[in-house]
Each structure stands twice: as structure tokens, then as C-alpha cells.
Structure 1
Amino acid sequence: MAGEDRGKRPAWAPPVLRGDRLEAGLRTLELDVRHRLDGLLQGNHLGLVPGPGSEPGEARPYQPGDDVRRMDWAVTARTTTPHIRETVADRELETWVAVDLSASLDFGTALCEKRDLALCAVAAIAHLTGGGGNRLGAVLSNGAETVRVPARGGRAHTRGLLRKIAELPRAGEGTRGDLSAILEQLRRPPRRRGLVVVVSDFLGGTEWQRPLRALAARHDLIAVEVLDPRDVDLPEVGTIVLADPETGRQREVHASALLRREFAAAAQAHRDQVARALRQAGTAQLTLRTDSDWIADTVRFVVARKRRWSGGAA
């Protein structure tokens, strides 16, 4: 669990990020992100996104999954083979993170809460997009309170942002999160082209799909889905109490084999719906779990994206 001593936990487990251990946990997180990401990616992490650049780069053959908006029709007509035009990243990239900290993220049955994993995801994004005059801003919401952090650069700004995420009060019982409202905060006023990263567990409906599509028309998008094992299956423990943290409703049930199968099927159907909605909005998806090595999962995601940009196998 999240409160265990770090020495008894796997090396990849997120540090404790609350109470009197917050400051030490933030320092540990910064070191983990810098050392492990740089080590696993071997210095190839710079430029998490290939643009959205304003300078035209080389043309290369079209690969399934490429953005058709980057088709180079002149080269395509000349060679009779579909080509896309690469772009050279802008010298300064502006990244905005939309962080959903609603009550459903104040939950975790493995090595941390989903809320802690959301903070870790932002730390990784900050590292992967940092340097070179790049700026990072954020919109944070727990359902009852929304905090906007202006886009700035520098390590001190990143530390301050992570501290704001860690210290944002937990939403009270009955407070519903609204991811659509968070995304609308990023749409208006319009911002310079850049990267938008949405961090959420995406539980509930998919009303957020429309504002996400609107953002995709101007920005490169990444969705970080934060999950706990109990989001996707129930334990075989007999009678359990199921609770909706955003409404406070509770229900005592017997975790029979039939109920566990039905719960797993419904959870998988919802995850498939989320993945389809993100794909239709043109959003890349990274899934992090509280029982998995989140840095290794992030590395695999970054490497796969780089392979697609270069025309290699995903």
C-alpha cells in the first residue's frame, strides 16, 4: 500500500507523496524521473512530440497511423506513392496538462493511489518536454475547485507545479468531477499550438470527447489513463462493499464468480469505449497502473511513438 516503507516496496513504486513525507517524496520522484527515464531512453527522450512544428522537414512514405493532415500531395503526385511531410519541432514548445483529481482518483489498492500516479505522470511529462525554452502550464481540478498554473519554464516551476498537484484538497463526498469543463478551460482562450496532455482515470461517460476533438484541431494530444486493479476486476473475497466516491453511494454485494465475470466484462467494455473515443479524437493513449512499473510503461510509450514518426514498426 501507499503507506509502506519504501525499502519494502519495488524500486519502481512511486514515493509517498502526502503529509510530512511530501517534500522528501517530491525530491525522490524528481531523481527517479531524471535518472530512470534518461537511463532507459539513453538520452533519446528529447522531443516527446515531433512538432507541431512550423518548419517543413523531410518527406517520407506514408505509414498506417500517420496523420493524414501532413500528407505531401506534391511528392505523392510525383512519386505515385503516398508521402507525408515531417515537421521540425518549434524551438519553444508549450505544453499544457489537464489533471483530473476528482474523488475517484483518491483510491488505490496496490502500491499507491491513482492520485499519486497522476502526479508521477505529470513529472514524467515535465521532464520529457523540458529544456530549450519550453514551457509547461496546467489546469487542475478536483471537481469543487479548479486551479490554473500559467505556462512557464524551469525546474523550479516544475517543482512548484508538482507541489500544487500534491496539495490540492481532496474533493468531498458527493463532488463529481467534470473532465469536459477542464478541457474547455484549455480551449478558451485559444493558445499557441503545442502539446496537451490529459491525465484522468476516464471513469464515467465520454462527454469529454467533443472538447477533446476541438483541442485536437490545434494541438498534439496525449491521454494518460490512470488505473487501479480494482477498476477492472473484483477480488475473490466474499462479501464486499462497493462505493462510488463521487456520490457517496454504497452497496454491499457478494463477490460471486458470476458477479466478478460481469464486473470484468463491464469494465473492459468501458475501457474499450474510452480507447475508441480517444482514437476518434486523434489522441495517443498511455495507460499507467498502480500495480505496474509506471516509468517502464512511459518509456515503451515514448519509444513506440518515435518509431511511428520515423516510419519504423510500432
Structure 2
Amino acid sequence: MTPHPDSLPPLGGTTSPEAVFGALELAVRRRLPGRLHGDKRGLRLGSGSEPEEVVRYRPGEDDVRRIDWNVTARAGEAHVWRPLAEHELESWVLVDDSPSMAFGTVALEKRDIAAGVVAAISLLTAGPGNRLGTAHLDGDGLTWSAPVPSRAAAHRALRRHAIPSTQGGPDLATALRQFAARRARPGVRVVVTDLVEPDGRSERPFAWEQPLRRLAATHETLLVEVVDPRELELPDVGTVTLEDPETGRRQEVFTSDRRLRQRYAAVSAAHRAATAEAVRSARAGHVVLRTDRDWVRDLARHVHGAPMRRLVPA
């Protein structure tokens, strides 16, 4: 039995990732193709541990250890069960490294959480033969890192130091299309982003909705949205100069205006609601992580209480 995330102690203000994610696993209910032996259900009969069908025993071909004695007793002749092949799992994480991710007003920036999420997904998908690859979206487009065993992927993610992009690159919609086209074999796909639109759009439809829906139609898909508290509400600190990280535009704002703060909070809340509905309509999993909260515990709580569901029949 795996421990509940709330029962695990924090480490340095944040729950220990290995203590939490080493005891949890992302549920993959989609049957997978593959070439190597693993622990995920495949599409065809083969080497595995779970019975798929019962057939008559063929001397010299079937393993006598797989005789189904109940069926044999009813039929009056020997029957054996044949297992479904179990394959390795290939997971990919798309990480948004756009300028808006280099922002944080508490202990961490959003890009720091994104790196931690990649490491966490690596631990959550660890298993025999399993591998994890990454694609980073920055001003130059997508930068791909080849899939490696899960723990190696975790160490690679934590060692990587993302350099904030200073120029606009492909948008999230374009990146999702390229992400889906590059690796078509079914598996786990995780998208880590703040869902900030370069043009500031906060209403549906978003350009990334359709590509996300297509991705989720083939893969077990989870969208991890990273936000900072200052993106949700403005503090009352007088006149400040705000800069749009995506465009570089600057504007002075008088934050002591109560009506301005209320309008800002209302627009932000509407944007959060719209993105949540868009992800839900795409039939992808969705979890929101904040820079002012214990993101490890929040992600673990999501995995523990809301496992990724089977999205379409295998």
C-alpha cells in the first residue's frame, strides 16, 4: 500500500521528491506496442504475467506451468492460459521554456518547478525498460533530448540550467503539433507550461486546444500548469513598472487602485477557469502547481487521488 502524500514529512520546506514519487506510479491503462519486455500491458499475446485467453494445451509448445486447472476439470482435457505481452513504456515531457516561465516572486521561478516536474515524472514512470525523453520549447523552437532510463532522465532534468529565452519562438500550439508528430508511438505525454498566451489572450478558444486534444487521443496525457501568485492578484504596493516577458513591453501601474486590483483578479480567475475547461474538453489530465506552495505534495496528491484514466478504447 502506498502512503498518502499528506502523511509524508517535508524536506527543507518542500516534500522530498524521491520519498513521495518513489512510492507512487502514473497509471497507464492504454495498451502499448513495443519491442522490449516491461511491465505495461501490450496489444498482442506474448511474454507476460497476466492471462489473456485460455486454449487447449499443445504438448511441446505450451508451458505446463500455465495449465488452468478449473477449465481443464470442466472440459475434461488440458487447457492453458496465454498471457498478454508486457512492454516497456516510453514517456515524453514537453517543457515550456518561454520567457514567461522565467518568473517567480516567492522561493522558486516557474522554470524551476518545471525542471522538478520532469524529474518527478521520471520517478513516477520508472520501471523495467522504461525510458523518458524531453522536448524544450524556447526561442529557437523545440530542443529534443533522447529518451533515457527514468532515473537518468531525472538527474538530467535537475542538472539542466535553462537560459531564459529573450525572443519569441513557436507558440504552444505549434509545439504541441510537432511534439505529437515526432513520437507517434502510444505512451505517456506530459506538457509543463504556464499557458500564458504571447498576445495576452484569456478567452477560449485557445490555439493549443485542438493540438492537445489530438495528443490526448493517442497518449495518456497530463498538462501541468505552473502559476505564480502575482499572476493571480496584484499586491497593493503603489506605482510599479510591469514588463511583459513575452513582448518586452513596459507599463506603469498604480496598484493601490482597489478597482484595478479587482479587475485584474477577475480577469485572471476567468483565464484560469477557461484554461481548465479547455484542458478538460481535450480529455487530458490537469494539475495546477504554484510557486508559493509545496508543488511536490500537490503533484503527488493529484497522482494519488486522480490517476490518469483511459481516454479512448485500446
Same fold at TM > 0.5: yes
Task: Please report how far the alpha carbon of residue 191 of structure 1 lies from its aligned counterpart in structure 2 after TM superposition.
Answer: 2.0
Task: Please report how far the alpha carbon of residue 37 of structure 1 lies from its aligned counterpart in structure 2 after TM superposition.
Answer: 3.2
Match of residue 55 from structure 2: none
Per-residue CA deviations over 1:148-205 (Å, capped at 9, x if unaligned) read: 0122214234322443xx3232111x42561122212222245211111000000114
CA distance, structure 2, for counterparts of residue 129 and residue 308 of structure 1: 15
Bigger helix fraction = 1
Match of residue 67 from structure 1: none
1:217 is paired with a residue whose SS is helix
Match of residue 171 from structure 1: 165
**Mapped contact 1:200–1:226 kept (Cα < 8 A):** yes
Deviates more, 1:128-137 or 1:142-151: 142-151
Per-residue CA deviations over 1:104-136 (Å, capped at 9, x if unaligned) read: 011100111011011111111111001221110
Match of residue 34 from structure 1: 18
Deviates more, 1:100-109 or 1:178-187: 178-187
% identity of equivalent residues = 39
1:147 is paired with a residue whose SS is strand
| 2:113 is aligned with 1:117 | yes
Per-residue CA deviations over 1:46-75 (Å, capped at 9, x if unaligned) read: 3x02322255999xxxxxxxxxxxxxxxxx
**Mapped contact 1:227–1:289 kept (Cα < 8 A):** yes
In the superposition, the TM-score normalised over structure 2's length comes to 0.72
Match of residue 240 from structure 2: 240
Amino acid at match of 2:29: G
**Mapped contact 2:189–2:221 kept (Cα < 8 A):** yes
| Matched positions, count | 246
2:19 is paired with a residue whose SS is helix
**Mapped contact 1:234–1:260 kept (Cα < 8 A):** yes
Task: Please report how far the alpha carbon of residue 144 of structure 1 lies from its aligned counterpart in structure 2 after TM superposition.
Answer: 2.8
**Aligned-CA RMSD value:** 2.5
* Distance 1:110-1:13 versus aligned 2 partners, 3 A rule: farther
* Distance 1:239-1:13 versus aligned 2 partners, 3 A rule: farther
CA distance, structure 1, for counterparts of residue 246 and residue 193 of structure 2: 14
1:1-150 equivalent positions in 2, closer than 5 A: 11-13=12-14, 32-38=16-22, 43=23, 45-46=24-25, 48-54=26-32, 55=41, 90-150=86-146
* Distance 1:139-1:89 versus aligned 2 partners, 3 A rule: farther
In the superposition, the TM-score normalised over structure 1's length comes to 0.72
Moved over 4 A (4+): 54-58
| 2:278 is aligned with 1:277 | yes
**Mapped contact 2:191–2:224 kept (Cα < 8 A):** yes
Match of residue 193 from structure 1: 186
| Equivalent of 2:151 in 147, 152, 155 | 155
Amino acid at match of 2:19: H
Bigger strand fraction = 2
CA distance, structure 2, for counterparts of residue 100 and residue 124 of structure 1: 16
Gaps of 5+ in 1: 1-8, 15-31, 59-87, 310-314
CA distance, structure 2, for counterparts of residue 139 and residue 98 of structure 1: 5
1:152 is paired with a residue whose SS is strand
